[in-house]
Amino acid sequence: MRLRSFTAQTMKEAMHLVRIELGSDAIILATEKIGRAVKVTAALDHEAILRRPADMPDAKPLDLIAAALDFHGVPRDLSDRLTDMSGNFLLDNPHQALAAALRSHFVHQPIMERKPAQPILLVGLPGAGKTSCLAKLVARARARNWPAAVITCDLEKAGGIEQLDSYAKALSVPAFQAKDEQGLRRVMTQIPADAFVIIDSAGSNPLAPAELDRLVSLGQAVKAELVLVVAAGGDVSESAELGQLFSETGAKRMIPTRIDTARRYGGILAAADAGKMALGEFSVSAEIARGLIPGGAELIAQLLLPAQSAETSLNRPKARTAGSRS
């Protein structure tokens, strides 16, 4: 185990030293006040990486919150704002304080809270999980006995049409294809007016203005709401830029995916903050029927700073230890 101690005048300065010396995988094991200074003990090895900031037994609440946000790579400015806001709430329970800060800073608008009045157009990078999100949204709609239909505008992805057709057949909803705006408008005339319509778009490069313009045109063609799908675990700076660029298409909500396979969630907050986007449902597993759940401050706080094991709350398998049996 690589164990180091760092002393600085403030927690922020001490955490900066930790990141410089040990990198982003360093885990804070303990903090203590030494006169007017702060001492932070950090470790770097495989087992330490698997630990969570909540394992700091003697840390003060705000230090615990700051360490958790640092662990997840939350941008410094946003981390400072959330830590300061947490200090405005009761701090005997840091998880609840962080949840309150998140609730104050981020808007939560689930897509499936009530049947959307307009079509939903899922947008995002290639491989972000748009098609599986579409299936999960349809499954939620079917569970509520909402009439639904799906459309794909992603006609070039290998196996994309077949994947959508298999989802549609399994969920007993009609599936359509549309190559362009004209085709999308034509398909919409074949769908009952009271149906919940989810549209799958091709993965788009946000650095290519023409691709974003096409998304805008598709949305305008059928008066659809653009919803950004973002995979968790991505680079924080890239995620922030992603949120900002897709917000320029008119997207105001986002669905984070791959929550169950990511260890750090700072990119999700960075994207939502930079794009001024509301957080909708979270995709927490590959299971179509129950893999999409409402997000909200409590879930995000659980991911960032678990009140109990996040693996337990998200039905993740626990990490095996030496001597354990399968």
Query: For 44-53, 216-225, 226-235, which range has the lowest pLDDT when averaged over its residues?
Result: 44-53
pLDDT > 70: percent of the chain: 85
Domains of the chain: 2-100 (no CATH), 120-295 (3.40.50.300)
pTM of the model: 0.78
* Mean pLDDT confidence for 50-72: 71
pLDDT > 90: percent of the chain: 56
- pLDDT at site 122: 97
* Mean pLDDT confidence for 146-150: 95
Burial 191-216 (b: 16+ CB within 10 A, else e): beeebbbbbbbbbbebeeeebbebbb
The answer on pLDDT for 325 being more than 70 is: no
H-type helices in the chain, by residue range? 11-22, 46-49, 61-71, 76-86, 94-105, 130-143, 160-171, 181-188, 209-222, 236-247, 266-275, 297-304, 310-313
Which helix (H) or strand (E) segment is 42 a member of? strand 37-44
> Beta partners for 176?
151
pLDDT tens string 25-55:
676 767 777 888 888 877 665 444 444 454 5
Confidence of residue 326 (pLDDT cuts 50, 70, 90): very low
pLDDT tens string 75-131:
999 999 999 999 998 777 888 999 999 999 999 999 998 999 999 999 999 999 999
Structure tokens at 310: 């996040």
Q: Rounded to an integer, what distance in angstroms lies between the CA atom of residue 290 and that of residue 281?
A: 12
- pLDDT at site 316: 43
Query: For 151-160, 254-263, 287-296, which range has the lowest pLDDT when averaged over its residues?
Result: 151-160
